[in-house]
Chains A and B, each alone.
Chain A
Amino acid sequence: MKREIKIDPVTRIEGHAKITIQLDDAGNVADARFHVTELRGFEAFCVGRTLWEMPSLTARICGICPISHILASAKAGDAILAVRVPETAVLLRRVMNLGQIVQSHALSFFYLSAPDLLLGWDSDPATRNVIGLGAKDPDLTRRGIRLRAYGQQVIERLGGKRIHPAWAVPGGVNQPLSAENRRWLQEHLPAALDTIRFTLDLFKRSFVNDEMRGALGEFPSLYMGLVAPDGTWEHYAGGLRIIDGAGNILADHVDPTHYQDVVGEASEAWSYLKFPYYRALGYPDGMYRVGPLGRVNVCDRFGTPLADAELEEFRGRGAPSGRIIDYHYARLIEILASLERIERLLKDERILGTRIRAEAGINALEGIGVHEAPRGTLFHHYQVDENGVMRTVNLIVSTGQNNLAMNRTVRDIAAAYIKDGKLSEGILNRVEGGIRAFDPCLSCSVHAVGNMPIALELIGPDGTVVDRAVRD
């Protein structure tokens, strides 16, 4: 008999989702889907608000990566004011974005995924969490928490508070960095660097092996991320690079404001999350991945010594990597690279400059702000009227771009472990673990209103579908 298995809700992710696994008559996996079951609707209710409120308004999309939205929004605002942001403000925005990458990646790894890796997929679910991790390895847990705290301190020392600082504005930022705060960040950086090097060594010793590679699966796909003009890893500016599963560059240095030429968006009746795809290959063949694995796969180098040494080792196992477990690996390398870059930027005397904001009126009616959020490339696309009031808002959020790949991951892991309809909690946790590797933030990603496809199914007492209505 056909059966459906539901994992509802998916735990240790940000936002609300469920997974359904359809079994065939023999009890093997016929299909599996990752359904995003929440709707936020920011694209709709931001319309009518002013440009100047947008960084703080869209920051409220997320409490984990508010900085991502603040910066993408401020950059879209820069484009509408048509100003050149003062160089100190650019340096400060870069430091804050790197701090955001550090804290968000540390949260994903230590709090959400390390319990699976270090306590075991099949360990007691009651203690398979950060508290259980603390009991087993208090030193690592404490260091992980402190690493995240450092990233949060970067944000607070620049913006005045750790979550939702009202700091980046169209044209720049509204508060310079004090010498005292710079000194604090410099003094505490070595401990953070030490922790990530220690964690990377532990990760490579324990989890870079065939068993883990098999546990979460691997498949080829396209990868996308920003790179600098010379191909170096980039998180704030630069152009889009898209490579295929063999490492061939399909598109390079695409002006990110022309994202619509390369990225299309599809929707499915069973999820609130849109399905972006690479236009040239169509839907769903144009599946691409963003985030740590995407960026690490597309860049030529990090441009900092420690991260470049790690990149070389990472690529020694075959590049580009399609391994789901390598999302974690790439995430840890990015923490290292971010800390090295913070160190470099803080040494630059221009960082203490006080010319931090360019002021102007509305000089363009459209603006696109793009940068790399922890989970991948983030696009804020605004159209305003001549007074700066929002007319349309389009958000292409990082998590959405991994939607096709997350569904593929769920299907692969389910098919590999579920045989003859036999299940265990540990198997379901592996399916969730595949999703966790992407570190999805669903609260960030579900905003379209008005074009949402809806499917209604009328199911009879014997479980058969009696009637079905679809709006698409």
Chain B
Amino acid sequence: MEQVVIQIDGNEVRTARGNTVLEAARDNGIRIPTLCHLDGLPDIGACRLCMVEIDGRFGTACTTRVRDGMKVRINTDELHEMRRTVLELLFAERNHVCSFCVSNGHCELQDLACELGMDSVRVPYRYPTLSLDATHPRFIIDHNRCVMCARCVRVCAEVEGAHTWGIAFRGTQVRVITDLGVDWGNAETCTSCGKCVQVCPTGAIVLKGQATAEMEKHPELVAELEERRRAG
């Protein structure tokens, strides 16, 4: 496979042409924080946590393809500050209360807060009034804990092929919906496969009957499934 050479934080690294900056960094053992990215799903650059500096401009590592001679900066004070601020905005935007959350201790958002040293939130919390839909016999969607990563939308469309999940409204009103906005329990296209539960990075989409801290997910199943499908 044809290789390209790029610079990451001043060091030359090689990666396959067609790779994203995120893939190039990972191939070379360099960590870039991510949230909406999931191996096995197409990238959409929704969460902005993988923000890097590419030839002097800011961009998301998950959606930018490498070019010969590209100069990428990942670890600068400015980028650390930007990523932390993005994370704080995610926490402030909805009602993320870890203490009684079913995903407490097994949550990608919580892990990122630890990794990025988010010891406080410097922007005002919005405390929106949001609902929880427990009408599905096996699953619950709690909009309080959703970060709009759209992994559920992507896995449902691209892997399961059901297209149950979608995104409705804009700005602060944006939220994920099932079947054009009906209760999940009445969504006829849902096959109850549970892939959206496994890929959701927080306690937003969970199994019913799980108590606090009991919800452990396996998002890596999507990549394994893709691998097996490719292998035929």
Closest chain-A Cβ to B76's Cβ sits at a distance in Å of: 38
A388 on the interface (CB 8 Å rule)? yes
Q: Are A52 and B210 in contact (CB under 8 A)?
A: yes
A108 CA / B115 CA spacing, docked (Å): 39
Closest chain-B Cβ to A373's Cβ sits at a distance in Å of: 19
Closest chain-B Cβ to A365's Cβ sits at a distance in Å of: 14
Please list 10 pairs of residues, one from A and one from B, whose beta carbons are closer than 8 Å in the complex, sorted by A's number.
A50-B134, A50-B140, A52-B212, A56-B211, A56-B212, A169-B214, A170-B211, A359-B209, A389-B132, A389-B134
Closest chain-B Cβ to A140's Cβ sits at a distance in Å of: 35
* A residues near B214, Cβ cutoff 8 Å: 166, 169, 174
* B residues near A166, Cβ cutoff 8 Å: 104, 211-214
1/0 per residue A294-324: CB within 8 Å of B? 0000000000000000000000000000000
Q: Which residue of B lies closest to A57 (CB)?
A: B100
1/0 per residue A51-80: CB within 8 Å of B? 011011101100000000000000000000
* A residues near B140, Cβ cutoff 8 Å: 50
Q: Which residue of B lies closest to A359 (CB)?
A: B209
A452 CA / B54 CA spacing, docked (Å): 58
Q: Are A52 and B211 in contact (CB under 8 A)?
A: yes
A48 CA / B213 CA spacing, docked (Å): 19
Closest chain-A Cβ to B14's Cβ sits at a distance in Å of: 47
A389 CA / B183 CA spacing, docked (Å): 14
> Contact size class for B?
10 to 19
> Contact size class for A?
20 to 34
Q: Are A60 and B100 in contact (CB under 8 A)?
A: yes
A387 on the interface (CB 8 Å rule)? yes
A57 CA / B100 CA spacing, docked (Å): 5
A361 CA / B138 CA spacing, docked (Å): 10
* 7 shortest interchain CB distances as A-B pairs: A56-B212, A387-B134, A166-B212, A56-B100, A169-B211, A57-B100, A166-B213
Q: Which of B100, B102, B132, B208 counts the most A-chain CB atoms under 10 A from its CB?
A: B100
A33 on the interface (CB 8 Å rule)? no
A50 CA / B209 CA spacing, docked (Å): 9
A53 CA / B132 CA spacing, docked (Å): 13
Residues 95 to 118 of chain B near chain A (Cβ within 8 Å): 99-102, 104
Residues of A participating in the B interface, judged by any CB pair closer than 8 Å: 48-50, 52-53, 55-57, 59-60, 164, 166, 169-170, 174, 359, 361, 387-389
Q: Are B99 and A60 in contact (CB under 8 A)?
A: yes
A164 CA / B98 CA spacing, docked (Å): 12
Q: Which of A56, A60, A170, A359 counts the most B-chain CB atoms under 10 A from its CB?
A: A56
* B residues near A60, Cβ cutoff 8 Å: 99-100
Q: Are B131 and A174 in contact (CB under 8 A)?
A: no
Q: Are A49 and B99 in contact (CB under 8 A)?
A: no
A55 CA / B211 CA spacing, docked (Å): 8
Q: Are A53 and B135 in contact (CB under 8 A)?
A: no
* A residues near B209, Cβ cutoff 8 Å: 52, 359, 361
A361 CA / B136 CA spacing, docked (Å): 12
A15 CA / B89 CA spacing, docked (Å): 33
Q: Which residue of B lies closest to A53 (CB)?
A: B100
1/0 per residue B128-143: CB within 8 Å of A? 0001101101001000
* A residues near B101, Cβ cutoff 8 Å: 53
For A48, give its contact among B131, B135, B212 (CB under 8 Å).
Answer: B131
* A residues near B102, Cβ cutoff 8 Å: 52-53
Q: Given A169-B214, A389-B132, 14 more contacts at CB 8 Å?
A: A49-B132, A50-B140, A50-B208, A52-B209, A52-B212, A53-B102, A55-B211, A59-B100, A166-B212, A166-B213, A174-B214, A359-B209, A387-B134, A387-B135
Q: Which of B102, B135, B212 counts the most A-chain CB atoms under 10 A from its CB?
A: B212
A166 CA / B101 CA spacing, docked (Å): 10
